[in-house]
Amino acid sequence: MKTKNKINVLELISPEMQQVMQFYADNLQPAPESNDYPSMRLAYNQDRRYWNADAPEMFSIRDISVNTSYGEVLTRLYQPKEKTPATLYYLHGGGFILGNLDTHDRIMRLLACYTRCTVIGIDYSLSPEAHYPQAIDESAQVCQYYHQNAKHYGINTQHIGFAGDSAGAMLSLATVLWLRDKQIHCGNICATLLWYGLYGLRDSTSRRLYGGEWDGLRQQDLEEYDNAYLTALGNRDAPYYCLFNNDLTQDIPPCFIASAEYDPLIDDSVTLFKTLEAHQLACEYKMYPGTLHAFLHYSRMMKIADDAIRDGADYFVKQLNN
């Protein structure tokens, strides 16, 4: 679609979202020194520092390296209290190429605070250095490790969940499917919390109408992320990448599916919800009006971002009590 035909979402976003955009206009971030991935990651990490400030204090936070078949994977345990009723694994977003435990620290702290459960962030290997399905397999192995060593770390892995935003939402659901299909038991998966994920659509109405420099989700951006994760010759139909090519009719834990109104990926969330709903699988869909992709980061300034995190947390707690 020609750029001039796309919807000008910046004229439609909410006052809260406009406030974030104005913050960026008033506080211009330095551009990456070059177009290589280390420079892009450094710029992304620096940008997220402001948004991660003033997060809730935890009873304890521990960084633990877990040995996998791919090497060491760093994880971070957030415990809001000494003993918790469940463990929630979190996979960060960043288009498979950006992000780490620090860039999503506030989100994980809020989840731990609102669920009163242990949250374990998984710093999976980024692309293009690591390709599909390494991040999924790493996450599954981390889950196995903590299930086998729960007593040592003083955590409860009898009841677990997975959560993630953007690419992390895809990786979270893909990990759940991977564990199911390979019959790997890591505890009872009570729920999956998915914020504005991409689940395998290659084209859609929202992908045509939305996306721009403000969210880094133009068509060429999405193709770059895919190529880094899958490689340019990768299989776009692979069942742990295009999750709609996996079996979404059975043995899927309850899913909280959240979307942003002016996100080019919103149709991925709607399609996932309608698929699960059609097969009578437990799920809840909620669209957050006036928001752009990645709005979850801006809870320091946007109440709706905090609400979205709390809504997912409440859904998880509800499933624990069912």
Active centre residues (catalytic): 166, 263, 293
* Strand partners for 63: 76
Question: Could you tell me the CA-to-CA distances from 29 to 98, 181, 215, 216 in Å, in that order?
Answer: 17, 44, 14, 15
Question: Encoding tokens for residue 183?
Answer: 């019959």
Among candidate residues 220, 211, 221, 224, the one with its CA nearest the CA of residue 292: 211
Q: How far separated are the first and last CA of the chain, in Å rounded?
A: 46
Per DSSP (E only), the strands in the chain are 60-68, 71-79, 87-91, 118-123, 159-165, 188-195, 255-260, 283-288
SS3 content of the chain, % helix, strand, coil (to 5): 40, 15, 40
d(CA 320, CA 274): 24
Q: What is the DSSP letter of 296?
A: G
Q: Are 298 and 110 in contact (CB under 8 A)?
A: no
Q: How many CB atoms lie within 10 A of CB 135?
A: 26
Among candidate residues 318, 315, 312, 320, the one with its CA nearest the CA of residue 288: 312
* Strand partners for 286: 258
